[in-house]
Every structure is written in C-alpha cells, then in structure tokens.
Amino acid sequence: MKILHWIWILIGLGACALPGLLHPRPRVHAAESRVTWSRQIAPIVYRHCAACHHPGGAGPFSLLRYQDARRRAPQMLDVTQSRFMPPWLPAPGYGDFADSRRLSDEDVDLIKRWVESGAPEGNPAEAPAPPHYDATWQMGKPDLILSVERPFTLRASGTDVFRNFVLPYPLAQTHFIRAMEVLPSTPQIVHHANVLIDRTASFRHQHRTNWRDGVPGMELEVDSGNTFAPDSHFLFWKPDTPVLVEAPGMPWRLDPGNDLILNMHLKPSGKPEIISAKIGLYFAEEPATKHPMLLQLDADSELDIPPGDRNFVVQDELKLPVDVEVLGVYPHAHYLGRVLEGWAMLPNGEKKWLIRIPNWDIDRQSVYRYRAPVLLPRGTVLHMRYVYDNSDDNIHNPHDPPVRVRAGNQSTDEMAHLWLQVLPVHVPRDGPDPRLLLEQAWMQHRLERRPGDYIALYNLASASAALGRYAEAATLYRRLLSAHPNDARAMNSLGAALERAGDNQGAEQAFTQAIALSPDTCDAGYNLAALEVKSSRFADAEHQFRDLLLHCAADAGIRSGLGVALQGEGNAAAAREEFQRALDLDPENFTALYHLGELAIESGQPEQAVDLLQAAAKDRPDDLDTREHLAMAFAQSGRAADALSQLRDAIRLSPADASLHALLSQVLAGSGELQQAIEEQNQALHLQPNDPDGWNNLGVLEARTGKTAAARSDFEHALRLAPDHAQARANLAHLPPA
C-alpha cells in the first residue's frame, strides 16, 4: 500500500551565521575600559558573522579583516543593538536550541563600546586567525557527487524564483547518508536550497519532457511508494550550514531508482546569472538504527485574513499516541506572520514551550534543533498558535493597500505550518511501528478538520493497511473512491487491501479497474499478476507480466515476478533467465535471490544456493522461509553447524512453527545428535499433532536409539492418521517382533 506525503518547501531560510565556537576569546568584564578588534570583537565576528560575511559568501560584504569591519562599524552597531543581526528569530527562554545565533547581552555591549570608542584595532598579534572559506567540499571529497544536468539562467530582475532540479540516484546499491553538502555554482543568488527524496521518481514521471531543465514551483507532492517511509529529516542548505551532518544512528536512506529533488530559492541579482549545483553525499558505514519522523500542525484552512486586521489568530493541536523525543522544529508562515508559537501540554498539566517567535520575518526563518531532545510522553497535546498582521503597520506586507489573503503556495498567499522532527521512544519490542500510530493520529486529526482532505484520507487508509486492519483500510479507500472514482492509485490500493483481507475476487476486480484507469502504470498490473501466481494461475500471470514488460521493461520486480510464474509452470531454465535479468537491474532483488537459491537447492548446487540465500537473508533477516531454505542449503553442503544456527535463529523468531522444529530435528539427526533430534521432533508434534509424517520420523529416530516399543507406537499412530502411509507401514514391518 502506498502512502502519499506532501513535501514542504522552506520559503526563504534566513541569512547566515556559522554555529559553533571557532575561536576562544578572553572574558572581558564591564570594568575593563579598552575594547579592541583584536582581543574582543574579532572572535565575536568570526563566530557569528563570518560564515556569510566573507569574500564570495552570501553576505553583501566581508568582515574578515579589521579594515573591513572598521568601515562597517556604525552599521554593526545599529544591527546588533536592534538585534536585526545576526539573524535569530526565537525568543530566549522558549526552547533551548543548539547553535543559537543570538548574541549575548555582553557581546552586544562590547560591540557598542568598541564602536563608540572609535573602533580601535589593538595589537594585531592578539587577534585570532580568521576562518578559511573556499568553494570546495568542506568535509573532503564526497562518496558520491550528483550534478544538475542542465544549468538554469536566472533573469536579471523581478520576483524570487523557485526551481526544482531532479538528480537521479545512479547506484545499484542502497546507501545510508550521514552527511550532505549542496554546492551552488553561484551561492550569492541562492537564498536557500531544500532537498527532497522521491522514492518512486514520481516527480520525474509527472514532468517527463522538462525535468532535466528544472521545474518551477514552491511546493511538490511525491508518491512515497509501496512501503511506509515517512519524511523524517530536514534536508536543507543555506549559507551558514554548508554541510548537513545527521545525528549518530540516524542517516537517511537512498535506494536504487530514487531521485533527489533540489528545490532552490533564487534571488535576482540585477544581471542574468547562470545557476547550477552539485550535491555531495557522504555514506554511513552502518544503516539507520533510529527512525525519526516529521509531524505537521497546520491551520491553512482557517486562513482568510481581512485587509486591515492586525491580530488574526489561527490554532491547531495534535495529541501524541506514543512517547517521543522532539529533535527539531520548523515554524513557517509568509509575509503577514507576526507571532508564531508552539508548545506542548503534558498529561500532568505542565506546559512546555517548543518555540516562540515574537517578530516573524519570512526572510530570516530557519530550522531549529534542540540542544537536547525534548521528551514528550504519550497523551501530550502539541499546540501551535500564529498571529497575522494584514495592516499597513506591517512593514513586510506585500500589498499596498492591504488585500484579503488566504492560504496558498505563492509567497503573497499565507501558510500556517509547524513542523516537528520527532523520534519515538520507549517502543515495545513486538508492537507496531510507532510512526504508523503517529501517522494515523495525524491523519485522523486532519480529517476531523477537513473531511474531504484527499491526502489525509489516503494516508489514513494506507496506515490502517500497514497496521493489518485491512477491512478498515478497504472502507477508507472506498470512501476516497466515492469522491474520486477515476483514481487508479486508490483503486489499486483497495485491491491490495481486499487481497490481504482474503477477498481475492474483489481484489482482482479492483486491480482490473485500476489497469483500465491507468494502462501505462505498473503497480496494478503487477499486483494482478502476483494474485494470479498466488492462485496458481501461472499461465495467466506469465501473460500479464509479459504485457507489463512492454512499458515497464526496467522493473526488476516484474522480471522476478515473471520468473516465479515460469517456475510455477515448470520452466526452470526460463525462470532462471528472468531472475538473473532482475538481478542485473537490482542486485538486491529479494524475490530473484530467494527463488534462484531455491532452484539451486533443487538442482543439487548447495554452495550456490548458500550465496544466493545469504544475500536474500541480508535483505530480509526475519523472513522464515529464507532462513529455512538457507539451513537446507547449509545441510546439503555439509555445514551442519551453520544449518543448526540458521534454524535456531528462525525458531527464536517463530517458536510455534512446527516445520522449523521438524527440520531442526532432521539436521540434528544427520549430525548424530539423536536425543536432541527426538526432543525437537516431539516439539513439532506438540504443535502439529495430526502430522503422520512427523510421527513416522519420530518412530525412525526412536528406532535408531533402540526404543523399539516407542517406535512401534509412533508408526502405529502415523497409520491411524493415514492408513495408506507406505513408509510408516514399511518401517513398522522392519521392527523386530514385540
């Protein structure tokens, strides 16, 4: 089942400041009379200002040298006294944020005293070395560099431009990304850049003719694919954060077939500019062990702001169904926003502030990460409250005179969004994915406010299906289709829910309708063919898969599906060819690896089977069939210890699976451990007491240990269950007389 996720675009992430203390400086008390550039001011500037204010940086002038700073001293005094610079919107005391750019009162006073005393340099030998900036990668050469295919020419003047460049991920292996850097060709005209992960290349498919040239727009909607993979990271670039480094354990994933979409906010410079960009990716050695999620509060549906209204208020709230840690926050409005607030009400009645911005400025906004995660227990209610000013008094108001403003994607429209990055904690080991519970609560809340919300209804249905509530999911998909009867994606998802609910006939009808609505898409056709395989209609499935290959030839899943159909028809040689073609397209295709391993076992090639099934098990370590076949391959290869290890791991995953205990019994018997083999076979029969083969096998084991009476009883039990059981009758006849 697919889950849609609308993708937000950061509109104007603010001007720059480099976080982190670059140069220590001596603490100066008010009693000290002389403030100089070298001793006190240079460390402040290098820490808070230089990331933008250096040659080639985003700032309009450099402050790396004393001579530059002295010329700008009166301006530095004005912007620091007013706290216009460095850019930092959150009010102190309303959230403890890492890398705060806000100058301390002491720093502001030092700058004032320095300027008022004539901006003296002091002893140059006491000044720290200025930071170094260049146009190369800040963390060294990336593991992978993606480049915009065709540069874009930005006009000389006019309004800001938002451009979306698609950068396909070219590798055939999945990688996890620990760090990312965006390197624009002309950084001075890039206000910010935001990176989106398109799991299914849906945006590229929507713009087949022009995606290489860049697609205009501020907000996008992409299809997240067949698995629940919610947006989980703030992936943005701005001048003061050249490298985005993820927290330990939380790299983000790129799979074969994914696209990165680079959304760039460009500001005309007064002359035509040619803009291109590269994205540098740094691979993590290990996959993610922590899985955060982005949640959104929003009140767009309430935005209808009359001209002249100075105090227009909108609010939203969301109750958390699980414990979470809040890692970061991104508040978002446009030009009319004035006061933006977010807080949490804990179950015990405590109010915990998440952020408060008393003087909003769209050009200075940012993502704010907490110094330490903010723990919010289950039952906490998240709140947002935004105040808008649509009067002449608002210096940011783009309309003169003011006009009525509603929600929309243009910057002259308005938005009311509060994004939170949360990490579920205290998660029960055997419980559902807590992100599904968050998604469900979020979408239910959206539907309470907007019953016709398409994305919320689709995502709620998909979350229900992912939680195993297939009948509920089918009801929700039907509700969606009543309003959108020609939605092929929803029809296909309905079919998948019906199939999982056991209604194969209804599923087949839904898949057939989805194909009729959208003949060129692969998903519904694949699902129909897979259903035919499941029903052992292998010839029908083969025909369906071959039809799909006419317009989806590069789909590894279709190739491996065709292989399964051919294998079901008994054509092992043709099946092997299709499985190999699938692996040529995707070396990690699970279906191809598994079935090639199965065929290798059947053809007496256990070592080849081991290699294939180990690769399959790496992709799906909890798949019991894979572990069982791998154990068989190990046993055929004479690697009894490895076979035993696989089976014991499988039994830990599924202790009530009788077939696993029975297979473990056989491997133990082959290793001469007959008593343990008897114990495992007894356990298998305890779980499945009416298995005549199991009783026969137990009789053989007990006969081998000299327990003739017990063996006789076992063979007789097998014959009572299956009077025509030839092996049990023959084994009974071979026993010595009682």
Statement to judge: residues 176 and 260 lie in one domain: yes
CA distance 281 to 332: 27
For the stretch 41-47, contacts whose Cβ atoms lie closer than 8 Å and that sit 24 or more positions apart, written own/partner, are 41/69, 41/110, 41/111, 41/114, 42/66, 42/69, 42/127, 42/128, 42/130, 43/128, 44/103, 44/107, 44/110, 44/111, 45/69, 46/22, 46/128, 46/130, 46/131, 47/18, 47/20, 47/21, 47/22, 47/23
CA 704, CA 105: separation in Å to the nearest integer? 87
Q: Report the alpha-carbon distance of residue 670 to residue 640 in Å, rounded.
A: 8
pLDDT of 223 over the 80 cut: no
What pLDDT shows up at residue 219?
A: 67
Residue with tokens 């979350």: 463
pTM of the model as a whole: 0.81
Residue 99: inside a domain = yes
Domain stops at, among 265, 283, 301: 283
Could you tell me if residue 707 is inside a domain?
no
pLDDT score for 348: 97
Q: 639, exposed or middle or buried, with CB in 10 Å at 0-12, 13-18, 19+?
A: middle
Do 300 and 206 share a domain, yes or no?
no
Q: Are residues 167 and 250 in the same domain?
A: yes
Range of the domain at 277: 136-283
- The pLDDT, as a whole number, for residue 410 is 76
Nearest C-alpha neighbor of 6 from the set 196, 228, 235, 260: 196
| Total domains, the chain | 3
Residue 18 in tokens = 């480099």
pLDDT (tens digit per residue) in 344-364:
999 999 999 999 999 999 888
What phi and psi, each to the nearest 5 degrees, are found at residue 301?
-65, -15
Residue 1 resides in a domain: no
Q: Do 263 and 385 belong to one domain?
A: no
Domain identity same for 413 and 298: yes
Q: Does residue 700 belong to any structural domain of this protein?
A: no
Is residue 422 within 8 Å of 321, Cβ to Cβ? no
CA pair distance 32, 52, nearest whole angstrom: 30
Which residues have CB under 8 Å from 67's CB, separation 6+? Answer: none
Instruction: Let me know: does 313 contact 385? Beta carbons within 8 Å.
Output: yes
* Least confident among 205-219, 283-297, 326-340, 383-397: 205-219
The number of residues making up the chain comes to 738
Residues 358 and 411 in one domain: yes
Which residue, among 502, 509, 510, 506, has the nearest Cα to 480 in the 3D structure?
510
List, in sequence order, every residue forming a beta bridge with 314; answer none if it has no partner.
Answer: 386
pLDDT at 243: 83
In a domain, 638, yes or no: no
Answer whether residue 309 is part of any domain.
Answer: yes
Q: How confident is the model at residue 227 (pLDDT cuts 50, 70, 90)?
A: low
Kindly state whether residues 344 and 396 are assigned to the same domain.
yes
Tally Cβ neighbours within 10 Å of residue 736: 7
CATH number reported for the structural domain that contains residue 336 in this entry: 2.60.120.230
First to last CA, the chain: 61
Residue 556's alpha-carbon distances to 213, 460, 530, 584, in angstroms, are 28, 29, 14, 8
- Give the percent of the chain with pLDDT over 70: 93
Residues whose CB is less than 8 angstroms from the CB of residue 595 and which lie 6 or more positions away in sequence, other chains included: 560, 563, 564, 567, 575, 579
The pLDDT of residue 30 is: 42
Compute the radius of gyration of the chain from its Cα atoms. 32
Given a contact cutoff of 8 angstroms between Cβ atoms, the answer to whether 28 and 104 are in contact is no
Q: Identify the bridge partners of residue 524 per DSSP, sorted by sequence position.
A: none
Give the model confidence (pLDDT) of 458-485 as tens digits: 999 999 999 999 999 999 999 999 999 9
**Boundary residue ending a domain (236, 263, 283):** 283
250 within a domain of the structure (yes/no): yes
Checking if the pLDDT of 641 tops 60, the result is yes
Q: Does 6 score more than 50 pLDDT?
A: no
Q: What is the pLDDT of residues 158-191, one digit of tens each?
A: 878 889 999 999 998 899 999 999 988 887 788 7
184 and 155 in a single domain? The answer is yes
CATH number at residue 277: 2.60.120
Considering 239, 264, 283, which residue would you say is the last residue of a domain?
283
102 and 222: one domain?
no
C-alpha–C-alpha distance, residues 327 and 656, integer Å: 40
164, 203: one domain: yes
Q: What is the pLDDT of residue 322?
A: 97
Same domain for 350 and 279, yes or no, is no
**What is the mean pLDDT of the segment spanning 275-293?**
94
Same domain? For 192 and 115 the reply is no
Alpha-carbon span 40 to 43, nearest angstrom = 6
**Per-residue pLDDT tens over the stretch 520-565:** 888 899 999 999 999 999 999 999 999 999 988 888 999 999 999 9
pLDDT at 26 over 60: no
Q: Is residue 93, in this structure, part of any structural domain at all?
A: yes
Residues 439 and 418: their CA atoms lie apart, in Å, by 16
pLDDT in tens, 41-70: 989 998 888 888 888 777 788 889 999 989
Mean pLDDT of all residues belonging to the chain: 89
Burial class (CB in 10 A: 0-12, 13-18, 19+), 726: exposed
Cα separation, 112 vs 73, in Å, equals 9
**327/632 Cα distance (integer angstroms):** 46
CA-CA distance, 45 to 111, in Å (whole number)? 10
